[in-house]
Structure 1
Amino acid sequence: MKRYIAITVITLILCVSCKDKTNPIGTENPLENRLQSYLDECDKNGHSASIRVAQNGDILYIGGDGLRIKNENLPVTKETIFTIGSLTKQFTATAILKLREEGKLSVNDSISKFFEDVPKGQTKHYNSSITDTHIGNSGKSGLRSGLSSHPEGKFLSEVYHSPLDF
């Protein structure tokens, strides 16, 4: 009886491991195929990428390829987050313009109107709270840089208790 159970278990393991990994006809996802091809091309050229595509709150694709830290041979995973540097300015400007269009934000609204704990700026020329004009005109919010590696709670505490830098 033990022999029969062992043979059955081994047979099941072999059957499961031999399963065809291709998609059944009609279930291929063109978006997934295009994005995976793009990631493969990036990896082939020595670049790393992580992609997440969402629509209406539904995640349509998550993938990554290449190395997140090249000298340590650490691969990109679905959870890898890359810093995007100055690209945040375009996203911020777009969000500000959308909020202005919707009447939810005025040119001179201080961010302290929306976030109570944000510090007030003090320079020898004027007292100022950060406005979307500061951010939009110069890309400078007045908040000190170099805090992005802190955990969120510590980051906000540091931001809220640091003097403005303008």
Structure 2
Amino acid sequence: MKQIWVATTDYMRDTNADFNGDLSLLIKTPKKDDPKNTYLSSNLYCPETSHQKKEYLVYGKYIAEQIGTEIKHNYGIIILCPNLAQYPKHIIEKGFYENMEPTQLQNYMSEDIDYIDSETGLNGAKKVELINKYIEIWKTDPDAFAKRKANTTALRAILFPEKFGITE
């Protein structure tokens, strides 16, 4: 999963665009600064069920933030193991991101995924449901970044309304 995260991050830094999850794109596309190599050398699969050839699910969000006269490029990538429901510990730990020079958006995502992970524990099905719902927020809400920036619990409250005193 970590190799996929690095490859996706490199690809997004070169394209400044969202990543749609098509891992074959990372395998086929030559790197911008190293055209003899591609972003990802081959398909990677969950080690528990690699014979089934289920691909990891990847979501990459790109946000260009205008700060004065400069543009700050933010990339956030979420890698979801296809077997997370059965193996709820198959998640990239927050410490990994801290060592990878993450952008503000990646920090937001890793903090929120870490929160989802801690709240769901070993309930893999619930973890998958909430991470997918979290990804959907980023896909559909054009103000998600601003909301998260203004309030660290804004997106978590959507996922866990009972924890944040929100009634529907």
TM bracket, shorter-chain basis = under 0.3
Structure showing greater Rg: 1
Q: What is the TM-score normalised by the length of structure 1?
A: 0.23
| Higher share in helix | 2
Which structure ranks higher in relative contact order (CA pairs < 8 Å, sequence separation ≥ 6)? 2
TM-score (norm 2): 0.23
